[in-house]
């Protein structure tokens, strides 16, 4: 087992994300993953989506009062060891979450002297291609200095840097740009490129950024993470699962770069055992 599954040491991990009524992605995928990996998951719901495996029919962000009430109520009794952020409904909501991290979470960290890792998956599109938030390209610059890791897929990365990314080396260049812009590590995922970058292998690019565990000499180091490509269309919720797995594994005491490698292996195993509950893209099985 990757994490400690005894009830005595279940670390608290938060998911700040949207609900997927189809159960494959979003909060539903996050909580299942965090629990599977031995953590106690708490949820802050940002958005409610009405979606199946083939369409997103309605998306509604929660009110600002409800967003802040969830964050503040949890912080007093169930403070997080690690936070994963997924779907944010709008630019306004995104800025409110960034502001909460800057003020409330920073004060909590100052008082407890415990650093809370924050992993942000900049979700913009559902796997069926439908938009999930008000603007297709949100601007995440207000998260500068607040994140440990950003995990865009290649489509999201291209929107964030406003450039096409035809291959893995263009992706590396864009990931470095973003790591500098937001002052955090970046894991740019190539899995959504199907076989267009490489028919046999799925490549992800990791740029260290300013990770505290990494010595200053290595802060701009980059690694190519390569896995055998799992040929399946059952990839709904893969990004949510990966970022939640990284969060849960870090909460169990792994440093960021090790957590990424273990989480990738977890997602690959889940994809190999995936299933299709509806007529659209299916979901991975959790095998923690």
- Which residues of the shown chain bind ligand PLP in the complex (CB under 6 A)? 17-18, 20, 25-26, 49, 51, 86-87, 123, 126-127, 132, 236-240
The CA distance from 12 to 288, in Å, is 17
Structure tokens at 65: 């009062």
Please report which residue ranges of the chain form alpha helices under DSSP H.
26-36, 64-77, 91-100, 106-112, 154-161, 168-182, 238-251, 256-272
Task: Please identify, using beta-carbon distances, which residue of 18 and 41 lies nearer to ligand PLP.
Answer: 18
CB of 250 to ligand PLP, least distance (A): 18
Which strand (E) or helix (H) includes residue 187?
Answer: strand 185-189
CB of 132 to ligand PLP, least distance (A): 6
Task: Please identify, using beta-carbon distances, which residue of 10 and 238 lies nearer to ligand PLP.
Answer: 238
CA distances from 232 to 40, 269, 271, 275, 278 (A): 30, 12, 7, 10, 15
Task: Please identify, using beta-carbon distances, which residue of 117 and 281 lies nearer to ligand PLP.
Answer: 281
Task: Please identify, using beta-carbon distances, which residue of 208 and 247 lies nearer to ligand PLP.
Answer: 247
Cβ-based neighbour number of residue 224 at 10 Å? 14
Task: Please identify, using beta-carbon distances, which residue of 17 and 202 lies nearer to ligand PLP.
Answer: 17
Task: Please identify, using beta-carbon distances, which residue of 123 and 202 lies nearer to ligand PLP.
Answer: 123
C-alpha closest to that of 95 among 25, 55, 146, 48: 146
Torsion of CA 194, 197, 200, 201, to 10 degrees: -90
The CA distance from 51 to 177, in Å, is 34
Task: Please identify, using beta-carbon distances, which residue of 53 and 252 lies nearer to ligand PLP.
Answer: 53
CB of 189 to ligand PLP, least distance (A): 9
CB of 87 to ligand PLP, least distance (A): 4
CB of 47 to ligand PLP, least distance (A): 6
CB of 200 to ligand PLP, least distance (A): 22
CB of 218 to ligand PLP, least distance (A): 29
Mention every residue, 6+ apart, whose C-beta is less than 8 A from residue 215: none
Mention every residue, 6+ apart, whose C-beta is less than 8 A from residue 166: none
Burial class (CB in 10 A: 0-12, 13-18, 19+), 282: buried
Q: Which residue is nearest to ligand PLP (CB)?
A: 26
**Distance linking the first and last C-alpha atoms of the chain:** 6
């Amino acid at each position: 087992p990757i994490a400690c599954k005894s009830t005595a040491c279940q670390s608290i991990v938060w998911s700040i994300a949207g609900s997927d009524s189809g159960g494959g992605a979003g909060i539903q995928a996050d909580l299942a993953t965090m629990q599977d990996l031995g953590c106690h998951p708490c949820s802050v719901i940002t958005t409610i989506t009405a979606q199946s495996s083939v369409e997103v029919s309605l998306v509604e962000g929660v009110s600002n009062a409800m967003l802040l009430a969830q964050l503040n109520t949890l912080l007093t009794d169930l403070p997080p060891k690690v936070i994963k952020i997924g779907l944010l409904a709008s630019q306004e909501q995104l800025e409110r979450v960034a502001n909460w991290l800057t003020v409330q979470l920073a004060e909590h960290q100052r008082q407890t002297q415990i650093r809370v890792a924050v992993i942000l998956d900049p979700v913009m599109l559902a796997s069926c291609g439908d938009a999930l938030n008000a603007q297709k390209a949100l601007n995440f610059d207000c998260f500068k200095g607040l994140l440990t890791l950003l995990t865009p897929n290649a489509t999201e990365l291209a929107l964030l840097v406003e450039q096409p990314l035809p291959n893995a080396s263009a992706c590396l260049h864009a990931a470095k740009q973003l790591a500098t812009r937001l002052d955090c590590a970046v894991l740019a995922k190539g899995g959504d490129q199907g076989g267009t970058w490489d028919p046999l292998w799925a490549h992800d690019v990791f740029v260290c950024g300013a990770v505290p565990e990494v010595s200053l000499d290595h802060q701009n180091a980059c690694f190519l993470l390569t896995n055998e490509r799992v040929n399946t269309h059952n990839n709904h919720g893969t990004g949510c699962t990966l970022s939640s797995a990284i969060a849960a594994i870090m909460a169990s005491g792994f440093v960021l770069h090790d957590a990424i490698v273990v989480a990738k292996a977890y997602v690959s195993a889940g994809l190999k055992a995936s299933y299709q509950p509806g007529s659209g893209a299916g979901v991975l099985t959790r095998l923690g």
